[in-house]
Amino acid sequence: MPANPFNGFTEYGIGIGLRVPHYRHILAKKPVVDWFEIISENFMVDGGRPLEVLDSILEQYRVVQHGVAMYFGSADKFDREHQKRLKRLVKRTKTPWLSDHLCWGSVDGRYTHDLLPMPYTFAVARHTAQKIREARDFLEVPICVENVSSYAEYHASEMTEWEFLSEVVEQADCGILLDVNNIYVSSKNHNFDPYDYLNNVPHHRVGQIHIAGHSKFEKYLLDTHDHPVLDPVWQMYAHAIKLVGSTATLLEWDDRIPSFDEVHNEALKANKFRDEQLATTTASDRYPRTTA
Amino acid sequence: MAAALFRPLTPRWGMQKHWTDGRRMQDVAAEFIKPNDRLSSFERLEIYNRQYWFRVLDCLYDDYPGLRAILGERKFMKLATAYLARYPSDSYTLRDLGNRLEQFLQEEPQWSAPRQELARDMVRFEWAQVVAFDGPAKPAVTPDDILDTPLSKLQLDLQPYLSLLELDYAVDDFLIAVKKRDSDALRGEASNAVQSAPKAAKRRKRIRLPKREKVYLAVHRHDNMLYYKRLDPEAFAILTALDRGVTVDDACAEAVTASDRANIDWAAQIKEWFDNWSALGWFCHPS
C-alpha cells in the first residue's frame, strides 16, 4: 500500500541509490529527486567525508536507509557495535523506515559480506522473525525485509521462498521491501513462476519496491545491478504496483555506474507504470469502504 | 556452508574438488544443496564460494595499491588469499578488512619476501589512510583553551584520525607515483553479486621501488581531504611524546636534546611547528 505502518505512513515516489560517483553532481547541481536510498554501513563511520556528504544531502533531500549487514538469518546474535552505530545513523537521517535483507551472512563473528539464502524452514522463520523484532525494538523504526536473489536451494527447505517470506513478516509483524528483480532472477535460477511469488506475499506489508538490472549467464542469472532494468522485470513491476498500489520505488545501480542523469531517467521510467496503475484503479478500489 | 565459502579457491578460481577430510566436494555439496536441471550442487555452491573470494580480494586489491605495486599482481593475490584464509573478516564493514594485515606480514614474512620491510611500511601507510579517511575527530584545542596552562603542565592529545609513522622507505612518494599511473577503480556497493575474478593482472609500467631512507610521516585529513605530511625527526619526536601523554615542555626538551642538528633556533622552529599543527586541528584535549 502507498502509505502504511511499514514505511512510516509516507508517500515517497521514485528514488535512486546515493552512490559515490554521483556525489559531486548532486551537491553541485541539486537535481530534483524524490528521495535517496543510502547503504547504512557506508555511513556508520566516526567522521570524515562520508558524514560531511551525508549531512549535505540531508539538508536538501529525503533519505531512506538500506542495510547490508544486519543478517537477520544468521544464528549469531546481533553485533552490538553495529546496532549502536545503526541507531545513531537512524537518528541522524530520520529515516522513516529502514530495510535490510532476508538472509544470513556471518558465522561465529566471521563475515562473508554476502547476502546468503536461508533454508526455508519454520524453525528458521521463527528465529529470523525474533531477530527482526529485536532490531525494531532497539532501533525504534519500522523495518522492511528484502527478498534476496539466490543461486542455491537447500534440501532442508520446507516451503517456497514466498511462503517463507510471508511466514517471517507475519511473525515479525514487519514490512517487505519487495525486490522484483531479485524475484525474477531467483525464478529463473530455481524454475518457479515469478508471478506466483508476487501474487502470494502479503501485499499490505509491502513498504518499498526495488528494481534493478541483472546479467544473464549460460546456466543462471546473476543479480549484478550493472544494467538498465530488463523488460520482464518492468512487467513484473507493473503487476506488483497493481497488487500493492503506488509504492515507494528505488532503482539500484551499483556497478559500471553511468551518469547521474542516466540512472535517474531509468528510475523515472517507473512513473509510467505508476501512472497507468493510478489511471486504471478507481478510488473505491484503492480505498474500499467497509460494509456492515 | 560458511566453511565451504571461506575455503580458498583453486588457482583457476574454482571451488576445491575435495573437502578437508578428503571426501569429494560434489558429494559434500549434494548433502545440503539441491541441484537443478542446469547446475549441480557443486556448481551452485561454487557460485557463492567464488563470490566470497572475488569480493574480499577485490576489496584488498582496491585498498592496497601500494602493496600490490611492491609485490606484483600475482604475489599480491597469493598474499591476500593467505591473509584472508588466516584472518577472515571480523567486521560488518569491508573497511576493516585490512586491519590485521600488518600483523600478518609480521607473523608470516614469507609472503612478502624479499621485500618484507618495504611491504610492512606500505601496509602501515595504507592502513593509516583508511583511519584518516573516516576515523573519529574530537573538538580541536583552541589557543584560548590553553591560555592559562603553563607548558610544564600542558598535555595535548592528538586527533584519533592522525597516524604518526616512522618508516624506513619513502613509501609516500612511491604511492603517489603508483596512483598517478593507475586510474582509480570504483567498487560496487549494494549488489550481492560479483561476477568476475579480481582484476586480471595487466602489464603496467614498473615504478622503481623506493630506496632505504628514514621518513617521518603524519597521515591526516583536513577539510575532510586526505593528506600525508613529512615531518622533521624532532617534530615527529615531539608529536609522539605528546601522544604518550608527556607535557609540551618535556616533549620539546626531549626532542631537542636528542637532536644532532646544530645551529637551529629551536624556539622559533618549535613555535612554527605548533602554529602549523594547531591550524591543522591536530590537538585535542586529553581524554
Domain ranges of chain A: 5-284
Q: Which residue of B has its CA nearest to A70?
A: B92
Three-state DSSP string of A6-18: HHCCCCCCEEEEC
Checking if the pLDDT of B247 tops 90, the result is yes
Q: What is the pLDDT at residue A84? A: 97
Low-confidence ranges of chain A (pLDDT < 70): 1, 281-292
Checking if the pLDDT of B28 tops 90, the result is yes
Interface test with A, best of B91, B189, B199, B223 (most A CBs within 10 A): B189
Read off φ and ψ for residue A290, nearest 5 degrees: -80, 145
CB contact under 8 A, B33 and A155: yes
Partner residue opposite A114 with nearest CB, options B48, B133, B135: B48
DSSP letter string, A204-267: GGEEEEEEE--EE-SS-EE----SPPPHHHHHHHHHHHHHH-S--EEEE--SS---HHHHHHHH
Q: Exposure string (b/e) for A191-203, b if CB count within 10 Å is 16 or more?
A: eeebeebbeebeb
Q: What is the pLDDT at residue B202? A: 56
- d(CA B266, nearest CA chain A) in Å: 34
What lies within 8 Å, CB to CB, of A221 at 6+ separation is A149, A184, A185, A188, A189, A214, A215
pTM of the model: 0.91
- d(CA B210, nearest CA chain A) in Å: 30
- d(CA A281, nearest CA chain B) in Å: 34
Q: Report, at the CATH architecture level, how domain A5-284 is classified.
A: Alpha-Beta Barrel (3.20)
- Tell me the pLDDT band of B82, cut-offs 50, 70 and 90: very high
Q: Taking residues B21-47, report their average pLDDT.
A: 97
- Tell me the pLDDT band of B144, cut-offs 50, 70 and 90: confident
Checking if the pLDDT of B88 tops 70, the result is yes
Tens digit of each residue's pLDDT (9 = 90 or more) over B61-73: 999 999 999 999 9
Checking if the pLDDT of B138 tops 50, the result is yes
User: Mean pLDDT over all residues of chain B?
Assistant: 93
Q: Which residue of A has its CA nearest to B92?
A: A69
**A288 in contact with B at a CB cutoff of 8 Å?**
no
- d(CA A10, nearest CA chain B) in Å: 24
Of chain A residues 248-277, which have a CB less than 8 A from chain B? Answer: 252, 254-255, 257
Q: What is the pLDDT at residue B160? A: 97
Q: What is the pLDDT at residue A270? A: 92
For residue B217, the one-letter residue type is: L
Q: Taking residues B92-115, report their average pLDDT.
A: 97
Partner residue opposite B195 with nearest CB, options A41, A215, A257: A215
- Tell me the pLDDT band of B191, cut-offs 50, 70 and 90: low
Checking if the pLDDT of B186 tops 90, the result is no
